[in-house]
Amino acid sequence: MTSQVFEMLLARIAERRSQVGVIGLGYVGLPLAMATARGGFAVMGFDVDPGKIVKIEARESYIEAVSDAVLRAECEAGRFTATDDFSKLADCDVIVICVPTPLSRHREPDLSFVERTSAQIARYLRAGQLVVLESTTYPGTTNEVVRPILEAGGLVAGRDFFLGFSPEREDPGNRDFTTSTIPKVVGADSPEANALMQAYYGAVVETVVPVSSAATAEAVKLTENIFRAVNIALVNELKVVYAAMGIDIWEVVDAARTKPFGFMPFYPGPGLGGHCIPIDPFYLTWKSREYDEPTRFIELAGEINSAMPRRVVRLLAEALDRKAGKALSRSHVLVLGLAYKKNVPDIRESPSLKLIELIEEAGGTASYHDPHVAEIPKTREYSHLAGRQSVPWSEAEVRRYDAVLIATDHDATDYARLGDWAQLVVDTRNAMARHGVVADHVVKA
């Protein structure tokens, strides 16, 4: 039966006759759905948030990487529809899971979204389907968590349906790469599933990189983000050491990057943000305990990066005392930038939220300005900040604050004017110096 089911599905994919279902229409799922539609497939997007479905039906994109024009074109061409009716999964030949994989309050993997989604798929699973997990997770999740849920109804992976993993590689705000131009790693534990994944993704992206198993593909994604987390921790630690010596870490890194080999620049900041880098390393540290193998290096990097917001607020307090003769507890602070990285509206795991909380825990008051984030949405960890709105960008507004803390260096900010308007600027991104603003009231942190 395997050969017949495989050949029929492979032919449907090759001829673009297969219906593709993408579950989770967020920063990963919606761009993938658009790339798949442009690849010639009929795509159905699934999401539990009815608000997203309403926006899509109105041809309004809520993801910066997908323009209204692109969304409208694929919808009106009949290549993309969206629904919260999961019974329609039965109509899909290829199903891709793009749901969140956060950490619990105890910094352990929270696979509840993956488990619930797998259970939904299992209700409508039929022979001849390909199921792909894209959500970042620890090695073994596809086979140890997803597979048993899907097989509970009697169908068997590798015989009746096919299962694999392909890590998402989105980089919000990076205009040099899109979903279709970023190489796609694919891994499965059967040659048939691997071949089907290569056929599907090969029609959607420019380059497909097959690996030997789903666990290997899962490990690839973790390795990429652990690499960044560890190197950011290293440069954050160097910043602290060099600052004590009176040496500017940004000048050091910019000079070091002129070496044409053996060095890759990473820059310090106020803490890690985004859905991947602050979270993914802990998936591996958790899984490693099963094998009694410590991950001291990774855990140390996590400690260093997690400590950065408190260090920044301490430096802010010192700068206020030294430059303005004012305690943080009596100060009004404007946090510049709420998003976790520049030029995007994404606030997931943003250190700016922690900075606001720490400033107010110290007795100060904090507001924020961000041209990309008009209002703080409700988040699991910072629900008490929900509803706060970005203050206007004006001379009168900026002058009201005792200090401006640059947490995110959006390109839309006029740093020269900020230097003229602000009483004190505490800069965690070296934004002022990069824009030629060097002054006594500008302090690097």
Catalytic positions, written as ranges:
276
Contact indicator for 83, 121 with CB cutoff of 8 Å? no
Q: How far apart are CA 218 and CA 330, in angstroms?
A: 48
CA 183 to chain centre: 17
Q: What CA dihedral angle connects 219, 223, 225 and 231, to 10 degrees?
A: 170
For 116, what's the count of Cα atoms within 13 Å in the CB-facing half-sphere? 13
Which of 354, 350, 357, 400 lies closest to 372, judged by CA? 350
Amino acid at 49: D
Residue 205: Cβ within 10 Å count? 23
State whether residue 173 is helix, strand or coil.
Answer: coil
Spell out the alpha helix ranges (H) of 58-145.
68-76, 112-124, 141
Is residue 370 left, alpha or beta, with left meaning phi > 0 and alpha meaning psi from -120 to 50? beta
* Radius of gyration of the chain from its Cα atoms, rounded to whole angstroms: 24
- Which backbone phi and psi does 188 adopt, to 5 degrees? -150, 165
